[in-house]
Structure 1
């Protein structure tokens, strides 16, 4: 524990001085809209509201992984054969994950949570220890679990196809105190060292995950805070491409991923859950695993100073 504390204390050198202003205008607008919706007590748990939030996190969140292949090309300068091999590997990893939702859905759920915790933890650049990063990433899931245990349990049961999903939900509640404590310390460090816009937005996103229905809270975090930061990093790494290429690539790759899942789900519909929100998270898991693996590979090969994973950026994408 002493080592972990020392790691946090000395990591403040890696938190850039922010301007203390807006992180992304869209985040604050979405957060205010969600708060007002909660204040006037609109039924965010209704099937229509849940379906709308599901569409938001799928359509709004998928593009942030749409540039993996382009970033890989920039990082490694692959030839045609290497590119084909990389694309094949990406699709194969996604295929394995999709197959797990049929053959071993409980294992797939655990893999998804582990991958999400690692990936979300990558945002915490001020934390040196990998376990602390994972704990901070886990807080995103744990916050929803302690705020809405029954809803998260139902979602996990639908995804896992068994009561094992409820056990996973209880495990998230059990780790929540440690995960939220680490996250709170990280937010405090970021605030102290100047990244106040990001720190405030992260705190609000966590509170929303606890108070708002899980899908709505996750949509706020994933689409309006996490994804834009990674999109900003990819835009920096691919800064010489045109805006038209940028938008077309995001739309096409996201559309292929969503279309591929719809084709897969329709083919094996009897073997998957009928819950559309649970399927949306299964889709997210299917692309999250190759995205995590490839993004780490890419980051190790890009030139210093051109990283696809953003640090603390208190500015919108230009």
Structure 2
């Protein structure tokens, strides 16, 4: 059995707070998806796929938009150090862009590993880091296993020939990933976080039964991202809600404008290209995001700080 840390559940991601929140928008989005399936509207058609691809980009960007602001507050940075941090952040993003241009297959592999690590941060009730990664990897493994042809087509569009090898690796990891996820979900249910455990299970079922863009959008935008956004008030205690939302909107607009320049396929109107570019753009912002939040966790380890809980959220 995977050990659950003793003591009050008060200081980490969803699984250690008094009640793991699930956004009402998750249930609304789930209802719309279920309604579309019941009506036989064809979720695999161009329009639903395009909407999902756009939403996962628009909905995923905000929870990483505050990284430099949080780092500045957490580490007590002046403007000079914050500028250096921003330049380093941009450099990591540019390195990811270069990797996609030079070796797209390796870029896809890096992206999948980053995603597994990042989604594993939602499972901090699991003490072993590798098991957290496997729990996070279930979000990738489930569609790879149950929606194989679609995932292969998506990976091939993103990275070219040879991408099916990565899908095969994800398929091979599926039994272990699902087992770890199931044990973690059971522990979470027993700890009283039943809405979150139910939503996680439903998200996996959706990933198995709908096109990968639809299932990932439901999980990433409506379950994962809101959980990470909850800590903004704690992470930036001197910021008003208006300032938080205005700042996030500006950063997202800048990011999307840059994305339109480096990923013209996003605006091409081609559904395959749109989906591929959405995932690639997410990888470009995920790389510096994960690196910085890892640094913040190390910096605040052993030193309680109002923002330490949020840094553990990875948001």
TM-score between the two structures when normalised by the length of structure 1: 0.89
Cα distance in 2 for residues equivalent to 1:36 and 1:107: 38
Q: Superposition RMSD on alpha carbons, in Å?
A: 2.0
Structure 1 partner of 2:184 = 186
Structure 2 partner of 1:11 = 5
User: 2:122 is paired with a residue of what secondary structure?
Assistant: coil
Cα distance in 2 for residues equivalent to 1:310 and 1:41: 41
Structure 1 partner of 2:305 = 304
TM-fit CA distance, 1:19:
5.0
- 1:167 aligns with one of 159, 165, 168: 165
TM-fit CA distance, 1:261:
1.7
Whether contact under 8 Å (1:94, 1:287) holds in the other structure is: yes
**Structure 2 residue ranges without an equivalent (≥5):** 10-14
Cα deviation 1:131-182 (Å, max 9, x = unaligned)? 10000010001111112100000000111122x1111111111101100110
Cα deviation 1:56-79 (Å, max 9, x = unaligned)? 111111101000011000111212
Cα distance in 1 for residues equivalent to 2:108 and 2:225: 21
TM-fit CA distance, 1:28:
1.2
Deviates more, 1:178-187 or 1:22-31: 22-31
1:36-75 alignment runs, 5 A limit:
36-75=35-74
User: 1:44 is paired with a residue of what secondary structure?
Assistant: coil
TM-score between the two structures when normalised by the length of structure 2: 0.90
Q: Does 1:124 align with 2:123?
A: yes
Structure 2 partner of 1:239 = 237
Count of residue pairs brought into register by the alignment: 299
**Structure 1 residue ranges without an equivalent (≥5):** 312-318
User: 1:222 is paired with a residue of what secondary structure?
Assistant: helix
Q: Does 1:286 align with 2:313?
A: no
Whether contact under 8 Å (2:235, 2:306) holds in the other structure is: no
Distance 1:209 1:225, change over 3 A: same
